[in-house]
Structure 1
Amino acid sequence: MLKKIYKIIIVPYTLFLLYLMFLGMGRFQYDENVVRLKPVLSTIEFIQGTIRWEDIIRIVLGNIVMFVPFGFLGWIFPKLKELKSLLFSFMSTIIIVEALQYFTRMGIFETDDIILNTFGVYLGFLICRFLENKFSRFV
Structure 2
Amino acid sequence: MLKKFYKFIILPYTIFLLYLMFFGMGRFQYDDNIVRLEPIISTFWFIKGSISWFEIIKIVLGNVVMFIPFGFLGWVFPQLKDLKKLIIAFVSAIVIVEALQYFSRMGVFDVDDILLNTFGVYLGWQMCKFLELRFKRFVI
**Alignment TM-score, normalising by the size of structure 2:** 0.99
Q: Where does residue 8 of structure 1 map in the other structure?
A: 8
Structure 2: unaligned runs, 5 residues or longer? none
**Alignment TM-score, normalising by the size of structure 1:** 0.99
Q: After superposition, what is the alpha-carbon deviation per residue over 1:61-99, rounded to whole angstroms, capped at 9, x for unaligned? A: 000000000000000000000000000000000000000
Number of residue equivalences: 139
Give the residue type in structure 1 aligned to 2:9: I
Q: After superposition, what is the alpha-carbon deviation per residue over 1:19-67, rounded to whole angstroms, capped at 9, x for unaligned? A: 0000000000000100011101110110000020000000000000000
| 1:40-55 mapped onto 2 (5 Å cutoff) | 40-55=40-55
Q: Identity, % of aligned pairs?
A: 70
Q: Where does residue 92 of structure 2 map in the other structure?
A: 92
Q: Where does residue 118 of structure 2 map in the other structure?
A: 118
Q: Where does residue 108 of structure 1 map in the other structure?
A: 108
Give the residue type in structure 1 aligned to 2:8: I
Structure 1: unaligned runs, 5 residues or longer? none
CA distance in 2, matches of 1:42, 1:14: 25
Q: Where does residue 37 of structure 1 map in the other structure?
A: 37
Q: Aligned Cα RMSD in Å?
A: 0.3
- The question of 1:77 aligning with 2:77 is answered yes
After superposing on structure 2, the runs of 4+ consecutive aligned residues of structure 1 that deviate more than 3 Å are none
- The question of 1:135 aligning with 2:135 is answered yes
CA distance in 1, matches of 2:33, 2:41: 20
CA distance in 2, matches of 1:17, 1:127: 20
| 1:21-36 mapped onto 2 (5 Å cutoff) | 21-36=21-36
